[in-house]
């Protein structure tokens, strides 16, 4: 049985890159086909066997919580009009997972957002899925989070997804310096957040899917903010590499971020 039953979805960032679109609509609520990005992220977690989802939301993000909640007036109208297919769809979204919402009172960085989930995850291992990126597993294949969960269950070591990017794009991501252990599976030696291309030779970027054991929470609790005042997740992951160890794996799936 999988040990990873909880996931944290940080969705409290300010979304400055997509202004003005994200001034009133959180970027996690931008729509793809007929559902917001966050729906596909929650769906990925659920398909990976996650039961409890900790949504880290911030000011102006209540529409994300509302999306997974009951809308009595709307549902009553759909029932009266006999629109059962729509009613069923809304009921499915609501019952997909146990959604626990935690407010990050200030956008103090991704590390701080993950740490805000501590009261729910406690000492259990957990997945992190960034709320502004979606990955689509190939038909019939496990999705990225499911691939990470399988690896964690086998190795009992925190595992992150990595993907190769072009040199010009390294400054957009956390970048991992890795050592290949077997095809597609790596040991992480170090990490650097959004480096300039000359600061790293590595082209292995972090696309925003992770599975951690509880040690990362201990490291985040003691982390010092970086120069911009944010608690960076990559800083604590760097310490994790030197203590308990950190694995990385490539994945078979398409990945898009909100900007795409
Ligand atoms: P980003 O750095 O991409 O999000 O964080 P941002 O801060 O919203 O983006 P820009 O640069 O201003 O456009 C990745 C994920 O982490 C969340 C974001 O909501 C996003 O899903 N996040 C980031 C938090 O939850 N809290 C934070 O303090 C920072």
Q: Is the pLDDT of residue 184 over 80?
A: yes
What is the distance in A from the centroid of ligand 1 to the CA of 14? 6
Q: How confident is the model at residue 138 (pLDDT cuts 50, 70, 90)?
A: confident
Interacting residues of 239 by C-beta distance below 8 A, sequence separation 6+: 219
Please work out whether the CB of residue 258 comes within 6 Å of at least one atom of ligand 1. no
DSSP for 68-83, written as a single string: TS--HHHHHHHHHTT-
**Average pLDDT of 80-109?**
91
pLDDT for the residue numbered 103: 93
Contact 234, 193 (CB under 8 A): yes
Could you read off the pLDDT of 217-244 as tens digits, one per residue? 999 999 999 878 899 999 999 999 999 9
Q: What is the pLDDT of residue 19?
A: 87
pLDDT at residue 122, as a whole number: 96
Closest C-alpha among 103, 114, 102, 101 to residue 223: 114
- Position 61 scores a pLDDT of 82
Pocket of ligand 1 contains residue 237 by CB under 6 Å: no
**Global confidence as pTM:** 0.94
pLDDT, tens only, 8-24: 999 998 888 888 888 88
- DSSP output for 119-134: HHHTTS-EEEE-TTEE
Query: What are the DSSP E strand ranges found in the chain?
Result: 6-11, 31-32, 35-36, 52-57, 98-103, 126-129, 133-137, 159-161, 163-164, 174-182, 185-193, 204-205, 209-212, 247-249, 253-257
CA of 80 to the centre of ligand 1 (A): 40
Q: Round the average pLDDT of the chain to a whole number and report it.
A: 93
Mean pLDDT of 196-201: 91
Atom from ligand 1 closest to the CA of residue 230: 28
DSSP category for residue 110 = H
Average pLDDT of the segment spanning 207-211:
96
* Ligand 1 neighbourhood includes 219 CB (under 6 angstroms): no
> Quick check: 258 pLDDT over 80?
no
d(CA 36, CA 132): 10
Question: What pLDDT shows up at residue 14?
Answer: 85
Residue 97's CB is within 10 A of a number of other CB atoms, namely 18
The candidate with the shortest Cα–Cα distance to 56, out of 13, 115, 10, is 10
User: For position 257, what pLDDT does the model report?
Assistant: 83
Please check the confidence at residue 2 and state whether its pLDDT lies above 90: no
What pLDDT, in 10s, does the model give residues 36-67? 999 999 999 999 999 999 999 988 888 898 99
| Cβ atoms of 87 and 176 closer than 8 Å | no
Confirm or reject: Cβ of 30 under 6 Å from ligand 1: no
């Amino acid at each position: 049985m999988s040990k990873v039953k909880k996931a944290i979805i940080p969705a409290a960032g300010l979304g400055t890159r997509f202004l003005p679109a994200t001034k009133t609509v959180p970027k996690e609520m931008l729509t793809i086909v007929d559902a917001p990005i966050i729906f596909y992220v929650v769906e990925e977690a659920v398909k990976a066997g996650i039961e409890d989802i900790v949504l880290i939301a911030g000011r102006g993000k209540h529409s994300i919580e509302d999306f997974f909640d009951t809308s009595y007036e709307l549902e009553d109208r759909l029932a009266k009009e006999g629109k059962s297919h729509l009613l069923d769809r809304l009921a499915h979204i609501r019952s997909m997972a146990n959604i626990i919402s935690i407010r990050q009172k200030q956008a103090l960085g991704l590390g701080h957002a993950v740490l805000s989930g501590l009261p729910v995850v406690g000492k259990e291992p957990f997945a992190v899925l960034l709320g502004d990126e979606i990955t689509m597993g190939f038909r019939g294949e496990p999705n990225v989070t499911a691939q990470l969960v399988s690896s964690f269950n086998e190795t009992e070591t925190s595992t992150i997804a990595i993907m190769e990017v072009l040199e010009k794009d390294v400054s957009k991501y956390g970048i991992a310096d890795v050592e290949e252990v077997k095809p597609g599976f790596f040991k992480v030696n170090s990490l650097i957040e959004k480096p300039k291309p000359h600061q790293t030779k590595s082209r292995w970027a972090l696309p925003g899917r992770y599975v951690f054991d509880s040690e990362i929470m201990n490291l985040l609790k003691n982390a010092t903010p970086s120069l911009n005042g944010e608690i960076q997740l990559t800083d604590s992951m760097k310490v994790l590499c030197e203590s308990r160890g950190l694995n990385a794996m490539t994945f078979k799936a398409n990945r898009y971020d909100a900007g795409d």
